[in-house]
Amino acid sequence: MRIMMYDDAGQAQGLMLQNREGIVSISYTELEYVEVINKTVSFHLTDGAVHEMSAALADFEGQLLSRPEFLKTHRSYLVNLRHVRSVDGGHVMTKSGHSIPISRKRRSQVQDAYMNLGHLSETAAPDVHTAGTFGKTERPAGPWRILMVDDDPADRKLWVDVLQRHGCVVRQAEKGNDALSMAADEPYDCVLLDVMIPNEDGFAICEELRKLVQAPVIFLSSLTESDKQVKGFAAGGIDYITKDTSEELFWAKVETRIKLAMSDRTQLRYGSLLLDLTERKALIHEKELPLTPIEFDILWRISERAGYIFTPEEIFGMVWGGQPWDGGQMVQVHMSRLRRKLEKAEGEQCFIETVWGQGYRFVSTGP
């Protein structure tokens, strides 16, 4: 069965489905969640109606995930966050009273997306955006929106998959002119830009993008030479990620740059411990700790909620995202190494406490 998009006044407003009931039109604003069991897809509407059809998740997943309000909570569920009442533990509760499971690996991204929507208003935000630049046009509520500019479909798929696993909405452009048009039409939280685009200059594209967006522009390139990276910063790029970077470090850099762009905070101070979010460094008594990117991410994330007890599963979800849960081994290994480094620098006050049978808690000794 074929699933097709339909347009209303030039904007995609919903789905047109062909099933045993004939042709069924479903508005995005009426679609509460989608459930997939084997090859049967059920579209649950806010009025209680359910439309079923025989299809695979891949037939429509990309179309729904391109919408800022839709998020994948489980391999079998896609949810419209505008109809969510609360997110608690392993489930989301919709305003209609439906309880929808969240897989372990997606819990943190669902929580983050829900928080980014500001706990949602009772009235859904408009779907049509007024053309303009980021900062001049109100940013639509929902997950982070990222523009990826790269002429290589294989490279785009690799990085888009990583971003979507972390709950991002990604628009794609193959050429610089397409990227400039897209940047002028709607706001983005980040732009990922390749340097080597055929017959175009990636650095020049960056300079033009900086006139249109206030979002950070990050170069994502196979060119590793230092002079290319220096040229990227000179063109207005906020960071330069080489394509041989691991997926976890790639996401850590993108996430950090977006968060810093949205916040004035660039440093966190806890007594003798200083976290520099721009440089991604941790210092105790002004001496840098030799932390790995993962160790820094763990320390940063748990420090922002001092006193809260993080379960190993919560830490795993925040740091490793889409990887399958390993029972807590990776969390234990990295946490042990992190604590040893803190203890060596600060003595018995290591900032992290183990709460037996529950998890880990950050304890600050200063403001």
- Give the least confident one: 126-140, 183-197, 206-220: 126-140
Alpha-carbon distance of 271 to 351, in angstroms, equals 10
Is the pLDDT assigned to residue 149 strictly greater than 90? yes
Task: Residue 45: count other Cβ atoms within 10 Å of its Cβ.
Answer: 17
| Per-residue exposure over 85-109, b if at least 16 CB sit within 10 Å of its own CB, e if not | eebeebbbebeeebebebbebbbbb
pLDDT digits (tens, 9 = 90+) for 3-59: 544 444 445 577 777 777 677 788 888 899 999 887 788 889 988 888 888 877 777
Helices 247-262 and 153-165: angle between axes, nearest 10 degrees: 60
SS3 call for 334: helix
pLDDT the model gives residue 346: 83
Is the pLDDT assigned to residue 233 strictly greater than 90? no
Is the pLDDT assigned to residue 99 strictly greater than 70? yes
Q: Which residues pair with 53 in a beta bridge?
A: 41
The pLDDT > 70 percentage for the chain reads: 84
Helices 176-185 and 202-212: angle between axes, nearest 10 degrees: 10
Is the pLDDT assigned to residue 236 strictly greater than 50? yes
Residues 6+ apart with CB under 8 A from 84: 92, 93, 94, 95, 114, 120
Is the pLDDT assigned to residue 139 strictly greater than 80? no
Is the pLDDT assigned to residue 194 strictly greater than 90? yes
CA angle 142, 148, 150 (to 5 degrees): 165
> Strand 11-19 to strand 3-8: parallel, antiparallel, or no bridges (unpaired)?
antiparallel
